[in-house]
């Protein structure tokens, strides 16, 4: 069955340090991969997506994600964290075996400490 796993409920990072939020997926066929962010009291916002091509995808607010087909992973990264990056981050995947509906991870709470 199709699934998305975000193995960490919460990630704590000091401001200025690099951050990684992990995501692995299980689908058949070629996946379309997405990251969304949910700030407190605001709607979900699109960050970036992988369709095909270069495995390193750049998105909004300085975030990037690396697609690794052999490890079926799509980890979100940022070289230098800001306090304002604190939010809930969701990984999602679309593929043919889910009729191209988005399958969502459970979310990872990112806390950036000053």
Partner 1 sequence: EADIYQTPRYLVIGTGKKITLECSQTMGHDKMYWYQQDPGMELHLIHYSYGVNSTEKGDLSSESTVSRIRTEHFPLTLESARPSHTSQYLCASSDPLQGAHNEKLFFGSGTQLSVL
Shortest Å, Cβ 16 to partner 1: 27
Identify the bridge partners of residue 76 per DSSP, sorted by sequence position: 21, 65
Question: 84 vs 101, which CB is nearer to partner 1?
Answer: 101
- Least distance between partner 1 and beta carbon 10 (Å): 10
Q: How far apart are CA 78 and CA 65, in angstroms?
A: 8
Burial class of 90 by CB neighbour count within 10 A (0 to 12, 13 to 18, 19+): buried
**Nearest distance, CB of residue 111 and partner 1, angstroms:** 14
Choose between 95 and 112: whose C-beta lies nearer to partner 1. 95
């Amino acid at each position: 069955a199709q699934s998305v796993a975000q193995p960490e409920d919460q990630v704590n990072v000091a401001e200025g340090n690099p951050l990684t939020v992990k995501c692995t997926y299980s689908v058949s066929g070629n996946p379309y991969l997405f990251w969304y962010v949910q700030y407190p009291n605001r709607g979900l916002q699109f960050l970036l997506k992988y369709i095909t091509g270069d495995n390193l995808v750049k998105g909004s607010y300085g975030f990037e994600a690396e697609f690794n087909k052999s490890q079926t992973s799509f980890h979100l990264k940022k070289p230098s964290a800001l306090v304002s990056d604190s939010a809930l981050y969701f990984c999602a995947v679309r593929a043919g075996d889910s009729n191209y509906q988005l399958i969502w991870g459970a979310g990872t709470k990112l806390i950036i400490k000053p």
